[in-house]
């Protein structure tokens, strides 16, 4: 079972400092804590500890590091797919690319992505068919799907009606893509150094 609360001694061990240093961080308001009734011992919520580490550019202990969320990029346009992949790599995601609907179906099983970006216009098995396959598969129904397409708003609305969680029109900027995928994956979006547009 994962810990939700830490003692000052545990924090001192994680940060490789004396526990008195941790007490000072708390007294100075750098690290949010609460005291146990009657004893006066400090306790720190794990979320507050991780925020403290982030604010002070300190390393996160291994046991608190989550694996990078996985994104499957499905687009028959290789340049568009690679561009999306670059954006999501910079945003901290693990990615794989499928250039057609059949490959996407196979990778859904082996790669087990948290999120899929899905183009609608593809030869063979189209985007709406891939969407229907994922939503009809008991083991894949938890996968979040964002349709990324240059087709009409009516087609994007059709994708939403058939089970897409989110849609994004091409062209779009990288920050919007990263923010939407991060939200679907349940993680905080990383700021992107540069903003480009992908028009394909």
pLDDT in tens, 115-133: 999 999 888 888 999 999 9
* Strand stretches in the chain, DSSP E: 5-7, 34-35, 42-45, 70-74, 94-98, 115-118, 144-149, 166-169, 172-173, 197-198
- Contacts (Cβ under 8 Å, ≥6 apart) of 9: 19
| pLDDT higher than threshold 90 for residue 29 | yes
Assess whether 34 and 107 both reside in one domain: no
CA angle 107, 113, 115 (to 5 degrees): 125
The CATH number of the domain holding residue 76 is 3.40.50.2300
Question: 156 pLDDT band (50/70/90 cuts)?
Answer: very high
Among candidate residues 44, 103, 42, 112, the one with its CA nearest the CA of residue 75: 103
What pLDDT was estimated at residue 30? 94
* Residues 80, 59 within the same domain: no
Q: pLDDT per residue over 175-190, tens digit each?
A: 999 999 999 998 866 5
- pLDDT-derived band at 106 (thresholds 50, 70, 90) equals confident
Confidence of residue 68 (pLDDT cuts 50, 70, 90): confident
Considering the domain architecture, whether residues 96 and 43 belong to the same structural domain is answered as no
Q: Are residues 53 and 95 in the same domain?
A: no
* Residues 60 and 82 both lie in one domain: no
pLDDT value for 123: 81
What are 92's two structure tokens?
């901290």
Residue 87: which domain range? 70-198
Do residues 18 and 111 share a domain?
Answer: no
């Amino acid at each position: 079972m994962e810990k939700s609360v830490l003692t000052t001694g545990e924090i001192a061990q994680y940060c490789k400092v004396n526990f008195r240093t941790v007490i000072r961080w708390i007294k100075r308001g750098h690290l949010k804590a609460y005291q146990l009734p009657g004893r006066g011992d400090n306790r720190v919520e794990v979320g507050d500890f991780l925020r403290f580490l982030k604010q002070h550019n300190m390393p996160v202990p291994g046991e608190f590091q989550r694996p990078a969320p996985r994104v499957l990029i499905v687009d028959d346009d290789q340049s568009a797919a690679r561009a999306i992949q670059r954006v999501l790599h910079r945003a901290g995601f693990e990615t794989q690319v499928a250039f057609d609907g059949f490959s996407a179906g196979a990778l859904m099983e082996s790669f087990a992505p948290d999120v899929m970006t899905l183009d609608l216009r593809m030869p063979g098995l189209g985007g709406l068919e891939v969407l229907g396959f994922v939503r009809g598969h008991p083991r894949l129904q938890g996968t979040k799907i964002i349709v990324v397409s240059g087709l009409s708003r009516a087609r994007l609305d059709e994708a939403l009606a058939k089970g897409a969680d989110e849609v994004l029109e091409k062209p779009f900027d990288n920050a919007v893509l990263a923010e939407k995928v991060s939200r679907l994956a349940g993680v905080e979006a990383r700021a992107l150094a540069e903003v480009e547009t992908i028009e394909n």
